[in-house]
Amino acid sequence: MADLTTLDGLHFHFDPSVVTAVADHDADTLQAVTTVYGLTAAPVRIAATPHGFLARIGVAPSFVRLTRPDDTFVWVNCTAVTVVHSPPPDLYPGTTRSLVSVGGLVQAVKETPGEVKRAVNAHGGKL
């Protein structure tokens, strides 16, 4: 069992395996804040660094860092990645080379599908 406190003061106790992704920026506000996906339907924001949070809850080895189209980073839980594919034309920024499905999140990233597949499989994924 792990725990965290959000920037809003909410306390969570959770199974670390439910964390699907952690980002270094909030995708909606673009604010530089660690954002955790998978605990609730909406992401939660915390004060810890992404790597510090993942290390503290004991899951860092199963996460890989990928680059979002805006040059921010997202760490995805490789054991939860279900699909990696190229983006449909004209729906994502031009720097998007792959879409990664993890839990209910679809994340656009700059890495190619082959690069994502290799990274995910090297950290416990099964693509």
For 96-108, what is each residue's pLDDT tens digit? 999 999 988 999 9
Tell me what percent of the residues of the chain surpass a pLDDT of 90. 95
The pLDDT value given to residue 43: 96
8 Å CB contact between 12 and 6:
yes
The pLDDT value given to residue 89: 87
**Structural domain contains residue 46:** yes
Question: Which domain range does residue 50 map to?
Answer: 2-122
**Structural domain contains residue 127:** no
**Structural domain contains residue 99:** yes
pTM of the model as a whole: 0.96
Q: Helix or strand or coil: residue 38?
A: coil
13 pLDDT more than 90: yes
Q: What's the chain's average pLDDT? A: 96
Specify the number of domains making up the chain: 1
Rounded-to-integer distance, Cα 33 and Cα 45, Å: 7
**Structural domain contains residue 17:** yes
